[in-house]
Chains A and B, each alone.
Chain A
Amino acid sequence: AQSVTQPDIHITVSEGASLELRCNYSYGATPYLFWYVQSPGQGLQLLLKYFSGDTLVQGIKGFEAEFKRSQSSFNLRKPSVHWSDAAEYFCAVGASGGSYIPTFGRGTSLIVHP
């Protein structure tokens, strides 16, 4: 069975600082990997996804993530955080075959200090 671990419940950064949110997954084959962002009172919005190919994926809002098979990780990064990035971030893993039910991590809450 697939699983996702986001080890950090909360992350606090200063505006303008760099950001890295961790995500580790467990899946027997090549996974489909996603990062979603949820602003307060909103649904989830896709930031970026990895299906295959280049392991460094660019997304919206200046975010990027790197798939590292050897570490079973898909960490999200941003070089300079803006106050508007304060939100909940979810990593998800989807099956590359069979069931199309993705598994979500519990989320990481990003707090941005001015």
Chain B
Amino acid sequence: GAGVSQSPSNKVTEKGKDVELRCDPISGHTALYWYRQRLGQGLEFLIYFQGNSAPDKSGLPSDRFSAERTGESVSTLTIQRTQQEDSAVYLCASSPPGLAGNEQFFGPGTRLTVL
């Protein structure tokens, strides 16, 4: 079946511009996560959606970052007024419901470059 998809795969933008990154999770997966991965570093948790519950936004680094999810489907991560330090790979992951919910299925990521 189809895995997690992300678009665009690469995004180059100028400092100060807004960007939107999209994630399509696996059908039936109730949980969706966004992570940031800076070059040569580990995964930095950004935000977590679980079904219709209020999202856990505790990882968002500033109010320039926001994310939405429509039901249990597509999610969009928006970065406003981008800065050079926002350059990173943004990874999306989804998880099935229940006890297996800790296992994550990752998309290929969106590489964001802010000039």
Contacts and interface: CB of A to CB of B under 8 A. Distances in A.
Given A51-B99, A90-B43, A106-B41, A100 B50 contact: yes
Contacts of B106: 36, 43-45
B56 interface: yes
B14 to A, nearest CB: 24
Contacts of B82: none
Contacts, number: 55
B77 interface: no
A96 B78 CA distance: 31
A32 B100 CA distance: 10
Interface string A39-57: 0011111100101000000
Given A44-B91, A105-B42, A106-B42, A100 B102 contact: yes
B27 interface: no
Interface string A99-112: 11111111100000
Contact of A101 (B33, B105, B109): B33
Determine the interface band of chain B, counting residues with CB < 8 A from chain A.
20 to 34
Q: Which of A42, A43, A99, A100 has the most CB of B within 10 A?
A: A43
A41 B104 CA distance: 18
Contacts of B35: 104
Nearest to A105: B42
A34 interface: yes
Given A43-B107, A43-B108, A43-B109, A104 B43 contact: yes
Interface of A: 32, 34, 36, 41-46, 49, 51, 90, 94-95, 99-107
Q: Which 8 A-B pairs have the closest CB atoms?
A: A94-B102, A43-B106, A106-B42, A44-B106, A104-B43, A32-B102, A43-B108, A107-B42
